[in-house]
Amino acid sequence: MRYRVIGTNPRTQREVSVLSLGAMLFGTRTDEATSFAILDRYVEAGGTFIDTSDNYAFWVNGGQGGESEELLGRWRRSRGVGNEIVIATKVGARPLAPGTSYIDNPEGLSAKVIRESAERSRERLGMDRLDLLYAHIEDPRVPLRETVEGFAELVAEGTVGLLGVSNHWTWRVERARAIAAAAGLPGYEVLQYQHTYLRERCDLPTDLSPHGSPGAASPDLLAYVHEQPELTLVAYSPLLKGAYVRSDSDRPFGPQLDHAGTPARLAALREVAAETGATVNQVVLSWLIGGEIPVIPLVGTSSLAQLEEALEAVDLELTAEQRAKLDAAH
């Protein structure tokens, strides 16, 4: 396993593995025995960076979520896991009532909600301090200053370490970080967005409603991270839920990737995979980890075989020529 440091403050920064494990469906679609086996193998291989949220996975059972955090809490207690494993969680997108969704009934990012939700997450996970806490989705109803100050209070109290943000417009991320910097408060240092090798179209309609927010890392977000090297980009769904290795009819890429550049980049991926003897998925993960903008891929697995494939990608070193071939395809 390889590692990198996230965060800049010596009091809160952490060294984490360059491959993160997603626990979204642990305790719901992925049963406890399988979830524990995946977690055990990940840690055995040197993995130290696990991702969850307070709303995972509300859509499976029609509840409000929390099952993933609860399972991780049971696993931590049964294995005697301490602060050597960094667990990231998120607040802001938990439905306020069972049977509703974060689209029309989210908990939001008021200072009161941030405090109360973080406390519940700590209880479910069995942790005195949350290693990394994300603002999960946009909340335009609450002033950014209130959100920034709400997160900063928890850091000052020692119940939260690093701060992160996901699925926010880039300008909102920058504005929140500027507010924090001007007030001498801790700001977002880890950004989590959907990101992969294939490029999304930029010409589709954009949802500018109060509940609209980006999921994928846009070109301006990538440029922002490139110019702010103190930031860490974590990429969720880097393998597109298996679409790279399934037929178009079984797992289509969707309209966002329906453009002329996709076949060219898929061809480049397959060429490099053939040259290295690796799988297409492994090439994608290696490309992300070692790119000009180093990315921490966040992989969700439902079997040990899927996890093993991802773990092997950490040791895959692409040559400069192979990276140039992948980058140039369009």
Identify the segments of the chain with pLDDT beneath 70. Answer: 206-213, 247-251
User: Domain total for the chain?
Assistant: 1
Please give the pLDDT value at position 251. Answer: 61
279 within some domain: no
Q: What does the block give as tokens for 274?
A: 């053939």
35 occurs within a structural domain: yes
Q: Torsions phi, psi of 13, nearest 5?
A: -65, 150
CATH of the domain at 70: 3.20.20.100
Q: Where are the beta strands (DSSP E) in the chain?
A: 3-6, 14-17, 20-22, 49-51, 86-91, 130-135, 160-166, 190-194, 232-236, 295-300
pLDDT of residue 161: 98
Residue 259: inside a domain: no
- The 3-state DSSP class for residue 91 equals strand
What phi and psi, each to the nearest 5 degrees, are found at residue 244?
Answer: -60, -30
Query: Per the domain annotation, does 209 fall within a domain?
Result: yes
- The pLDDT value recorded for residue 285 is 98
Q: Note whether residue 97 is domain-resident.
A: yes
pTM of the model: 0.95
In whole angstroms, give the CA distance from residue 52 to residue 25: 9
User: For the segment 157-190, what is each residue's pLDDT rounded down to a tens digit?
Assistant: 999 999 999 999 999 999 999 999 999 999 999 9
**How do beta strands 49-51 and 14-17 pair?**
unpaired
Q: Is 249 a member of any domain?
A: no
pLDDT, position 2: 98
Q: Is residue 142 part of a domain?
A: yes
Please tell me the predicted confidence (pLDDT) of residue 212: 60
- Domain span including residue 116: 3-242+287-317
Neighbouring CB atoms inside 10 A of 80's CB total 6
pLDDT on residue 208: 59
